[in-house]
């Protein structure tokens, strides 16, 4: 099924890994492990469909509050992901980008992200953005501080955008959240000014390519007015 009026930029809050594991009597880390497999499938599905930018909320600035063992597991899981999926990204012409307060992450993970970005920099298909140690308010604070440090005297939207983590990232068209939670959780606040929202009860490990297409189809039927009249 071909979907007309595709969103250019799709964001996903990949929620529900822990609950998925709990319902099965498994450790939370198993939910994250299976969730990583879902991430792989959705990245490729989005690329094949023709999405230009896919932003995935992988680790928030608030997630440091989780048990240290879980945080360390998540970081190693991300590292394993980027080190093992290069060929998959290259075969599908997908560019990898990471954004957030990356300088606060472990050295091995920062280097892994930098390596993956370098290896896929020439890819011209979809850009897959992994938001790690990311918070929307923190991004804006960091942007303001960089603008002040650069000597900016009067800020406009265009000026401030230059100081965001990824200035080239377009505004978000569609934001998907799994697990039944009805909030955006501090994700891409600047970019979400006019985004369309789509929520599902499905936990992230159970999220399928078919449900992803369902979200895109629903988006394609909406009329976006950006504050104007019909």
Query: Is 229 inside any structural domain?
Result: no
pLDDT greater than 80 at residue 201: yes
Q: Any idea what the CATH number is for the domain that residue 59 is in?
A: 3.40.1180.10
The answer on whether 2 is annotated among ligand-binding residues is no
pLDDT category, 4, cuts 50, 70, 90? confident
**Average pLDDT value for the chain:** 96
Model pLDDT for residues 142-164, shown as the tens digit of each residue: 999 999 999 998 999 999 999 99
Query: Is 210 inside any structural domain?
Result: yes
The answer on whether 173 is annotated among ligand-binding residues is no
Residue 80 domain boundaries: 9-220
Mean pLDDT of 124-137: 99
The answer on whether 19 is annotated among ligand-binding residues is yes
The answer on whether 62 is annotated among ligand-binding residues is yes
pLDDT category, 230, cuts 50, 70, 90? low
Q: What is each CA distance from 201 to 60, 206, 218, in whole angstroms?
A: 21, 10, 16
The answer on whether 196 is annotated among ligand-binding residues is yes
Residues of the chain with pLDDT > 70, as a percent, come to 97
Q: What is the spatial distance between Cα 17 and Cα 178, in angstroms, rounded to a whole number?
A: 10
Q: What is the spatial distance between Cα 173 and Cα 160, in angstroms, rounded to a whole number?
A: 20
Query: Is 202 inside any structural domain?
Result: yes
Model pLDDT for residues 159-198, shown as the tens digit of each residue: 999 999 999 999 999 999 999 999 999 999 999 999 999 9
pLDDT score of 224: 73
Query: Is 186 inside any structural domain?
Result: yes
pLDDT score of 1: 63
How many structural domains comprise the chain? 1
Q: What predicted TM-score, i.e. pTM, was given to this entire model?
A: 0.95
> What are the φ/ψ torsions at residue 127 (nearest 5 degrees)?
-105, 120
pLDDT greater than 60 at residue 229: no
Q: Name the residues annotated as catalytic.
A: 15, 63
pLDDT greater than 80 at residue 227: no
Instruction: Report the 10 Å Cβ neighbour count for 114.
Output: 13
pLDDT score of 3: 84
């Amino acid at each position: 099924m071909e979907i007309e009026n595709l969103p250019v930029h799709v964001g996903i809050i990949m929620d529900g890994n822990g609950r998925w594991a709990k319902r099965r009597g498994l450790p939370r880390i198993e939910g994250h492990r299976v969730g990583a497999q879902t991430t792989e499938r959705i990245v490729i599905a989005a690329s094949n469909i023709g999405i230009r930018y896919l932003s995935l909320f992988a680790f928030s600035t608030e997630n440091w509050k989780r048990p240290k063992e879980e945080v360390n597991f998540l970081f190693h899981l991300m590292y394993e992901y980027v080190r093992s999926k290069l060929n998959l990204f290259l075969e599908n012409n997908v560019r990898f980008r990471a954004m957030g307060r990356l300088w606060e992450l472990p050295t091995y993970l920062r280097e892994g992200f930098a390596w993956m970005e370098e290896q896929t920099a020439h890819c011209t298909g979809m850009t897959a953005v992994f938001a790690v140690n990311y918070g929307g308010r923190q991004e804006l604070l960091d942007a303001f501080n960089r603008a002040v440090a650069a000597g900016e005297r009067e800020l406009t939207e265009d000026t401030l955008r230059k100081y965001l983590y990824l200035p080239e990232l377009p505004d978000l068209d569609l934001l998907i959240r799994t697990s039944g939670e009805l909030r955006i959780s501090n994700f891409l606040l600047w970019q979400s000014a006019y985004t369309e929202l789509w929520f599902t009860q499905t936990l992230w490990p159970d999220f399928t390519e078919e449900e992803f297409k369902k979200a895109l189809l629903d988006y394609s039927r909406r009329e976006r007015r950006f504050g104007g009249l019909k």
